Amino acid sequence: MRVAGVAAPVSGLLESNGTLLAATGSNGLYRSIDGGRTWTVLPEQLGVQPGVTVDVTALSADLTRPGVLYAATAYWFGSTERHLTPGSIYISLDYGSRWEPMVDSDGQAIIAPARVNRLLPSTTQALHVQALTNGGSIEAQYGRAQDQLINLSSANPADRAWAAAALGWLGDTSAAPALVAHLDDPDAAVGLAVVHALGHLSDRRVVPDLVQRLHTADEAVAGIPGTVRMRAAMALGLLRAAEAVGPLANIMMSDQTIAQAAAADALARIGTPAAAEALARALAEDALSPTRQVAMRGLERMGSAAAPTLERLVRTDTSATTRRNAAELLGWIAAPGSTPSLVAALADRDVDVRVEVAWALGEIGSPAAHAALQATAQNDTDLAVRTAAALALSRQPVTAPVVAAAGTDQTAVWTQLANLLAPPRGLILLFSALLAVLVLWLRPGASGTNHRMRHS
């Protein structure tokens, strides 16, 4: 590897959530966040001193705790005769952006007794790693909650963000109220770290406090209105707080700040039938408002869990707008189990609803959907619906003709040839599709021609 003209042999490579880390035997640790196109060397965080060569001897990721990484170091001294001295074990809580030494109960950095060859993160103890050497192993545990609570009030935003992340992983739920109190931190990175820490702690006792924060007045944090409500909504989503569905729905329907999208996302994460019903309230809006956009995105994220609510709406809701929008969402989700409800909705009295239903069935593409679309393309009383069905059929895969193998019955071969000489189905569908596009484009108020762009 060569960075800024300096060559460094790579001894280990680690990928974690898109971040690449390269351990070298002579120049410490390198980090890339763009797939390896550019690299940043991180010597100052690993105890590098002038004239000292840093050897990163082991590198590991905690697969149960995203973002938590470990590195072991050793240092080469001398020029003509070089000597290796074991170094410290380091931890990162943010995919390698920042590193801190693992310390003992007295707060002193843990120095390995010999070169560390391998690091084994614990799957049961938070921020705990076993370091293997040729002579045995040592155990290292990072951090105490009381120390991190002090750092949570540091004047340095980077220290506050680190402390919040550590508190989340350490699992001491007594830290949860302090984290809630820092939801109004003026630094964006700190606020996000606090939200994720609350999610990791999973202490549902803070849910009432978080709901109360949804009613925070619209003062701006770092110049952005709604920041505290946004962070509270995000935390409620991570906690999957079903009891917060009502307040979150109110934020989604009425809040015009960044909290609105966070509330819709939280409802999607909660994922209960009540959450789906709350999101579906916005489907009654005919215009593609911000409220309807975030609600539809939330319902799509819920996936098949939202399908029963949407199927009921497309069958029975009194509003044609709601039925149409529900049909569109069922097309986005494309769950085969929704086919019967959509087939029944092909008899809807509203033309725009039937057009949307035809599109949705085309997205699902099940055999039952295909059969219903064929019947609709031939029999519906409205040209727009017939052409929408033809357009949906044109998106269905066409089975290639089977070539007869040696010994195949010749009658079957002649049947296949006769089918090939018949008017090409694909050509007919192509003309139908072009006609469908033209009709739907010219038809006032057509709803089914721009499905995926609606919420972008």
What is residue 109's predicted lDDT score, i.e. its pLDDT?
Answer: 85
Q: Would you say the C-alpha torsion 340, 344, 350, 354 has a positive or negative sign?
A: positive
pTM comes to 0.81
Which H/E stretch holds residue 166? helix 157-170
CA 69 – CA 258 distance, rounded (Å)? 32
What is residue 442's predicted lDDT score, i.e. its pLDDT?
Answer: 55
Write down the mean pLDDT value for the chain: 85
User: 330-363 pLDDT, tens per residue?
Assistant: 999 999 999 999 999 999 999 999 999 999 999 9
CA 389 – CA 372 distance, rounded (Å)? 9
Please, which pLDDT band fits residue 48 given cuts at 50, 70 and 90?
low
pLDDT at 161 over 90: yes
What is residue 408's predicted lDDT score, i.e. its pLDDT?
Answer: 44
User: Poorest-confidence range of 14-28, 42-56, 307-321?
Assistant: 42-56
Domains of the chain, first to last? 2-142 (no CATH), 334-398+411-450 (1.25.10)
Q: Would you say the C-alpha torsion 359, 362, 368, 371 has a positive or negative sign?
A: positive
pLDDT, mean of residues 299-310: 96
pLDDT, mean of residues 235-245: 98
pLDDT at 279 over 80: yes
Q: CA of 137: how far to CAs of 23, 72, 133, 245, 283, in Å?
A: 21, 13, 6, 49, 60
